[in-house]
Structure 1
Amino acid sequence: MTTRRGVLAAGAAMAIGPALAQGAAVRLVVPFAPGGSQDVLGRLLAQAAGPLLGANVVVENRAGAGGVLGAEAVARAAPDGTTLLLATAGQLTIAKAVGRRLPYDPIADFTPVLWLSDSPVALLAAPNLGVADTAALIRMAREARDALPYASTGIGTNTHLIMEDLKARARLNVEHVPYRGAAAAFNDLAAGRIATMFVSVPSVLSANGAQFKVLGVTSRARFPATPEVPTLIEGGVPDFEASIWTGLSAPAGTPPAVVARVAAAFSEALRSDLVRSRFNTLGVTPNGADGVAFGAMLREDLERWTRVAAPLNIQLE
């Protein structure tokens, strides 16, 4: 008996080309080192999507230069559907917005395939700050004589730019203190040396909540992993949204039929019980918007962060 899944897998294999029919693997380039949240997400999707494509989807970790090395490898690969990028803003939109020198054009050199997932960031406050919610923090930061120090996970990262966007919109008197990651920032937040910061929801879920007060999240609706935490919109910042998104991209020039088949397989993988159950523990939600919507988001994301970064005079090595 022919199943829908079997038809999809067979069609995908034929559409991508004879190489897959002969057992060649599809490379899913994850531009980060093994073990991180994006690597876990990539391996999960590869496991679920492979049978739907009728191919072995192999994760290839290409860390370095903030993920730029991995993205470059995909941009230069043959546009035949056998090399894909697990894309994030760090290689595409934010990378260009902050003036990083890129060996590729993040829009022109890739074909957007599928918008895979979203995760908001959480706004945190130091326990000794004495604020109960986002509105209280905003009032304090507006009225502060001396700038409140805020942490980020690095200059030109999403946690840096999201706070600078909030600073501009809400007229906050805050000062940036960059860290090399969330762990050290959490320590200083707990000790009161840092007043506030944005950080990814997965980092919040894995950390000791006694170290900080979670004030809000940057999704439009309350996030399923933290249903008790209000959004920043509820906290009085109109239309303030930000997502740590993940997408699937292919080299520019990949045939539309190939893109459609790859998108169909990964879209069905997103709906699988395996992926949905693990996404909950990872602190992310499946998106599934098609390549057209993903491409439109990329252009909007690039415009937003370029506007936010322009007055900051960010200097990257």
Structure 2
Amino acid sequence: MTLPRRTLLAATLAAPAVMPRGARAQGPWAPDRPVRLIVPFAPGGSQDVLGRLFAQQVSQQVGQNVVVENRAGAGGIIGAQEVARATPDGLTLLLTTAGQTTIAKAIGRRLTYDPVADFTPIIHLSDSPVALVTAPSLPPRDLQELLAYCRDARDPIPYGSTGIGTNTHLIMEELKARERLKVEHVPYRGAAAAFNDLAAGRIGLMFISVASVMAVSGAQMKVIGVTSRERFPPTPDVPTMIEGGLPGFEASIWTGLAGPKGLPAPIVARWNAEFARALQSELVTSRLPALGSTANGAGAEAFGTLLREDLDRWTRVAAPLNIQLE
């Protein structure tokens, strides 16, 4: 007698699995030796601190050392390049930001890797919004007044950034194009010199990390807004750019975890779970606000989507700028 198809399928699913002789049930993948977490920045910065927090917590969770290796240079490209070339065995991971991936390609940096195709996204770890600040001497008191002031200025108003092709440069250029602002770029080699010129009124405005704003006296600047979707917990009195009248204007200095291309799914799943768990730990949650960051935790698929969208966004912004890199 031939069983009906539905009955046959049910019988097949109900039957006990028969394993070959000598086979063993496989548990979740686990690292069998120390793991390298490549941080593509010098020791002491916020990304290095973040990487060391995760390394400490995840080491405890998996019972295997996760060792931070700083591979600074070329805006993070050297460290990213090392991971792109690594064996996809789960033992070499990258603490990554847009600087060495999506923005690097968007502004035309010479890369030996593709920032999307040559990495396996694992988890979107955290976000750090930036704040729009102005010189104390600038008349506008809120975002709409500032936008009108910059549109109607007789001469372009100088704005600062932490360097050509950085987040703070491209975010302002996106705002400039969207709102037709009359501003011109003055790049600096970091925030300290820019803050001095902002306080003195030699530049009128700039975007800067919220962590930097938190570390500077309020007398040195006026904080107009932040680029997060909702108000940033460490600065609850500062409105978002969206609240200020710019629908959908968001930007983040994001941090994520990635591995080399071809990382097997069980390895991705294990590291995703461990770093998501670390995001909820007291060690990490207690330090994130001081670093100007909030936890994200979006998974591998969502992080991959972010990479592609980020690349498209900054490529559009950078295209008309004709950025010349050494």
- Work out whether the TM-score is over 0.5: yes
Q: What is the Cα deviation at residue 283 of structure 1?
A: 1.1
Match of 1:120 among 97, 107, 129: 129
Q: What is the Cα deviation at residue 209 of structure 1?
A: 2.1
Match of 2:250 among 218, 231, 241: 241
Match of 2:290 among 268, 272, 281: 281
Q: What is the Cα deviation at residue 236 of structure 1?
A: 1.3
Cα distance change, pair 122–12 in 1 and its aligned pair in 2 (3 A): farther
Q: What is the Cα deviation at residue 208 of structure 1?
A: 2.1
- Larger relative helix fraction: 1
Q: What is the Cα deviation at residue 54 of structure 1?
A: 2.5
Letter in 2 for 1:241: E
2:275 corresponding residue in structure 1: 266
Aligned partners of 1:140 and 1:14: how far apart in 2? 58
1:4 corresponding residue in structure 2: none
Match of 2:213 among 195, 204, 208: 204
1:168 corresponding residue in structure 2: 177
1:191 corresponding residue in structure 2: 200
Matches within 5 A, 1:17-96: 20-21=31-32, 24-96=33-105
List runs of 5+ in structure 2 lacking aligned partners.
1-24
Partner SS state of residue 59, structure 1: strand
Aligned partners of 2:117 and 2:99: how far apart in 1? 16
Q: What is the Cα deviation at residue 12 of structure 1?
A: 11
Contact 2:133 2:207 in 1 (8 A): yes
1:15 corresponding residue in structure 2: 29
Aligned partners of 2:230 and 2:152: how far apart in 1? 29
Contact 1:12 1:261 in 2 (8 A): no
Contact 1:190 1:212 in 2 (8 A): yes
Contact 2:227 2:250 in 1 (8 A): yes
Match of 1:252 among 254, 257, 261: 261
Between the two proteins, what is the percent identity of the paired residues? 69
Q: Which stretches of structure 1, 4 residues or more, deviate above 3 A after TM superposition?
A: 11-14
Contact 1:120 1:217 in 2 (8 A): yes
Partner SS state of residue 129, structure 1: coil
Cα distance change, pair 192–252 in 1 and its aligned pair in 2 (3 A): same
1:301 corresponding residue in structure 2: 310
Q: What is the Cα deviation at residue 206 of structure 1?
A: 1.4
Q: What is the Cα deviation at residue 301 of structure 1?
A: 0.5
Superposed CA RMSD? 1.3
List runs of 5+ in structure 1 lacking aligned partners.
1-10
Matches within 5 A, 1:216-235: 216-235=225-244
Q: What is the Cα deviation at residue 185 of structure 1?
A: 0.3
Instruction: Please list the CA deviations of residues 234-277 of structure 1 after superposition, one character each: whole Å capped at 9, or x if unmatched.
Output: 11111100000000000001100011001100000001111111
Letter in 2 for 1:29: I
Larger Rg: 2
Q: What is the Cα deviation at residue 14 of structure 1?
A: 5.5
Letter in 2 for 1:243: S
Count how many residue pairs are aligned between Structure 1 and Structure 2. 302
Aligned partners of 1:306 and 1:254: how far apart in 2? 27
- Is 1:144 the counterpart of 2:158? The answer is no
Partner SS state of residue 307, structure 2: helix
Aligned partners of 1:124 and 1:255: how far apart in 2? 44
Contact 2:28 2:270 in 1 (8 A): no
Contact 2:102 2:311 in 1 (8 A): yes
Contact 1:170 1:237 in 2 (8 A): no
Aligned partners of 1:197 and 1:94: how far apart in 2? 19
Q: What is the Cα deviation at residue 52 of structure 1?
A: 1.8
Aligned partners of 1:209 and 1:13: how far apart in 2? 54
Contact 2:28 2:266 in 1 (8 A): no
Instruction: Please list the CA deviations of residues 22-75 of structure 1 after superposition, one character each: whole Å capped at 9, or x if unmatched.
Output: xx2110000000000000000001111112222110000000000000000000
Q: What is the Cα deviation at residue 13 of structure 1?
A: 9.2
Letter in 2 for 1:77: A
Aligned partners of 1:86 and 1:217: how far apart in 2? 24
